[in-house]
Amino acid sequence: MTDVEILTGHKAIARFLGLSPRQVSWHDERGNLPTFRMGRTVCARKTKLVEWIEEKEQRSHSLRNATD
């Protein structure tokens, strides 16, 4: 099995993303982040967060190019 890097808690996810824990909580509550729960603890895989960021970058570039 490969080394799975799971972040647990809003603070750990926030540190990884460079956001505040409150921002992570807000986005998590609205389903904007690729998170899941283990019991009552919010968790995220680093690889899924990186993929999510890359998707956001692609959409941003696509929108910018469509308006040029």
Q: What is the pLDDT of residues 43-60, one digit of tens each?
A: 999 999 999 999 999 988
The full set of domains in the chain, from first to last, is 6-67 (1.10.10)
Q: What is the pLDDT of residues 16-53, one digit of tens each?
A: 999 999 999 999 999 999 999 999 999 999 999 999 99
Residues in CB range of 42: below 8 A, 6 or more apart? 8, 9, 10, 13, 28, 35, 36
pLDDT value of position 38: 96
pLDDT value of position 10: 97
The DSSP symbol for 67 reads H
